[in-house]
Amino acid sequence: MAYETILVETRGKVGIITLNRPQALNALNTTVMAEVVAALQGYEANDAVGAIVITGSEKAFAAGADIKEMQSKTYAEVFAGDLFAEWDGLLRIRKPVIAAVAGYALGGGCELAMMCDFIIAGENAKFGQPEITLGVMPGMGGSQRLTRFVGKSKAMDMCLTGRMMDAAEAERSGLVSRVVPVADLLSEAIGAAEKIANLSMPAVMMNKEAVNRAYETTLAEGLRFERRLFHSMFALDDQKEGMSAFVEKRKANFTNR
Ligand SMILES: CCCCCCC/C=C/C(=O)SCCNC(=O)CCNC(=O)[C@H](O)C(C)(C)COP(=O)(O)OP(=O)(O)OC[C@H]1O[C@@H](n2cnc3c(N)ncnc32)[C@H](O)[C@@H]1OP(=O)(O)O
């Protein structure tokens, strides 16, 4: 499929989506949204792909939702069209999605990164929710997810002042899982994705579902959910293979069954 605003490539078992609107610092317009979700759905349906990386350029992962596209919209339009709801398609992807962030990840760009399963940042990454400076607020989960990632005080600071957080602060605060030199960012993210893609896919997907559940439910309910998933894994060939391989001191050969 030919895309206008993203580049799509498969390396081994890893699908790579690169946001590609350099003239607008990868601002997220309606076309980007539709194309990213379509590419993700394509990888989700492709059994040869086990994990996905979303990245941008060295200067910008994404500098936010496209302000020029939003500028003149009316309340009636954004309400009736449920502006940005299509991004929820990302949340229905069951394979792991890693954000590889260099440069600006602002507004919707920061929100897109936080919708991924984890974030690997280049040393020049800058995260922020500057919507307040435009007279609005985050519209795709920023006020909720950022607060869960970094806590109330820092989330308030960022949403109310619009200030940016650099990669070191983002790692300290738990927003990103690792920080690497910009030159190594894509290979680090692809390496992590490749490692995941070579594991048992049902086990990977159940791990993802269980961690996500921690955001949505009580501790008691989450622990019950984890226990049930854990028990169900003993119905998988991959559980037998993984444990046998350990005991026999060999590499596991997972079949995703
Ligand atoms: C999954 C999530 C999607 C849903 C999102 C829901 C709600 C989200 C709302 C938002 O995201 S509002 C936008 C928040 N972002 C910002 O306010 C950042 C805006 N950009 C900047 O402040 C600066 O561009 C910068 C990032 C600090 C970089 O500055 P620099 O001087 O280096 O470059 P510029 O000359 O400013 O930009 C180059 C070029 O890119 C255009 N551009 C930058 N950001 C956007 C944007 N968000 N939307 C549209 N266009 C953008 C900028 O206008 C320049 O283009 P020209 O005007 O020269 O043609």
**Segment 80-137, tens digit of pLDDT:** 999 999 999 999 999 999 999 999 999 999 999 999 999 999 999 999 999 999 999 9
> What is the percentage of the chain residues whose pLDDT exceeds 90?
100
In the block, which residue shows the tokens 């269980």?
A: 210
Q: What is the pLDDT of residue 203?
A: 98
Q: What is the ipTM of this complex?
A: 0.98
pLDDT digits (tens, 9 = 90+) for 144-160: 999 999 999 999 999 99
pLDDT digits (tens, 9 = 90+) for 36-95: 999 999 999 999 999 999 999 999 999 999 999 999 999 999 999 999 999 999 999 999
What's the distance, CA 155 to chain centroid? Answer: 19
Ligand 1 atom with the shortest distance to the CA of 138: 7
Pocket-testing residue among 17, 23, 25, ligand 1, by greatest number of atoms within 8 A of Cβ: 25
As for ligand 1, residues whose beta carbon falls within 6 Å of it are 24-25, 27-28, 63-68, 84, 87, 104, 106-108, 111-112, 115, 130-131, 134, 138-140
Question: Which amino acid, residue 38?
Answer: A
Whether 241 contacts 255, CB under 8 Å:
yes
Active site residue 65: yes
Mean pLDDT of the chain: 97
Active site residue 128: no
pTM exceeds cut of 0.90: yes
Q: Whose CA is nearest to atom 17 of ligand 1?
A: 130
Sheet with strand 104-106: strands edge to edge: 60-62, 104-106, 126-128, 164-166
Query: At 239, is the pLDDT very low, low, confident or very high (cuts 50, 70, 90)?
Result: very high
Active site residue 245: no
Q: Considering 24, 63, 65, 102, which one is annotated as catalytic?
A: 65
Query: At 1, is the pLDDT very low, low, confident or very high (cuts 50, 70, 90)?
Result: confident
Active site residue 209: no
Please name the residue ranges forming H helices in the chain: 30-44, 67-70, 75-80, 108-115, 142-150, 152-161, 167-172, 185-197, 201-213, 219-232, 237-247
Please tell me the distance between residue 106's alpha carbon and the centre of ligand 1 in angstroms: 8
